[in-house]
Amino acid sequence: MNISNNCYVEIHYALYNEAKEEVDGSRDGEPLPYIHGRKNIIPGLEQALEGRVAGDKFSVTIEPELGYGERDEEKISIIDAESFAGFDAITEGLMCQIEGADGQPQLVTITHIDDEEGEVTIDANHPFAGQTLNFEVEVISVREASEAELRDGLTG
């Protein structure tokens, strides 16, 4: 079966940055499941998987606009360190979830801690934003998604 919209797909992947260092992947664990055409994965990878079949192995390079987008400097802000009073400890590089300006949870990375000023710099850009992504992919399985998967997603 060829991968097309509403197919349940499982892949193994390795993601390499521009320096050819592996920065993410699934090969040491379970394959990544997703439903094709539902925007569960980045657009460039979904496009590269279209029409593939179980057993296919390929490499693909994805530019930022079809990956995690360009970096947005407006997503970097400085907040009062008191905002992290409930945390056991914070360190530069720590990813954490905070309440965004709209009241919704937001994933951010702490990029700088200024103890003297009592301020923390956070970055709400995806860690791979602005980067060209290099994937090695293996299609493990392809089948039609069940009605429940289409209705509820993969966790329903």
Let me know: does 32 contact 12? Beta carbons within 8 Å.
yes
Q: What is the pLDDT of residue 29?
A: 93
CA distance 66 to 46: 10
SS3 string of the chain? CCCCCCEEEEEEEEEECCCCCEEEECCCCCCEEEECCCCCCCHHHHHHHCCCCCCCEEEEEECHHHCCCCCCHHHEEEEEHHHHCCCCCCCCCCEEEEECCCCCEEEEEEEEEECCCCEEEEECCCCCCCCCEEEEEEEEEEEECCHHHHHHCCCC
Question: What rounded mean pLDDT belongs to the chain?
Answer: 93
Query: pTM of whole model > 0.75?
Result: yes
Tell me: the pLDDT tens digits for 62-96?
A: 999 999 999 999 999 999 998 888 888 899 999 99
Query: Given a cut of 70, is residue 155 above it in pLDDT?
Result: no
